Amino acid sequence: MDDEDFIALHEFILEMANVDFYLTEHFLDEEIVLKPKKIETQTPVQLAIEIDENNEVKIGAIPPMYYVETTFMPVFHNIKLTIETE
């Protein structure tokens, strides 16, 4: 991406999905492990669409960096991600 703030959309989704399903805590000499079966998350996202020199479409994404009300508001898209364990 030409804009360094944006990362490729597939990398953005992989970052959101990078969840460690085993959350471990030690309490009174006991190990407690939490393993969720399903995680849902949703976030607004700004998209940048570029066409490179090979005419390939590149889609970049970034969470909105700020929110300021103006007469012309940017278009935010929403990404909803559901992760289920086997």
> 0.85 cut: is pTM over it?
no
The Cα–Cα gap between 35 and 54 comes to 44
Which residue is listed with tokens 């364990």? 85
pLDDT digits (tens, 9 = 90+) for 56-85: 999 998 887 766 677 776 667 888 989 887
The residues facing 24 across adjacent strands are: 33
DSSP string, 9-39: HHHHHHHHH---S-EEEEETTEEEEE--SEE
Q: Is 52 helix (H, G, I), strand (E, B) or coil?
A: coil
The residues facing 66 across adjacent strands are: none
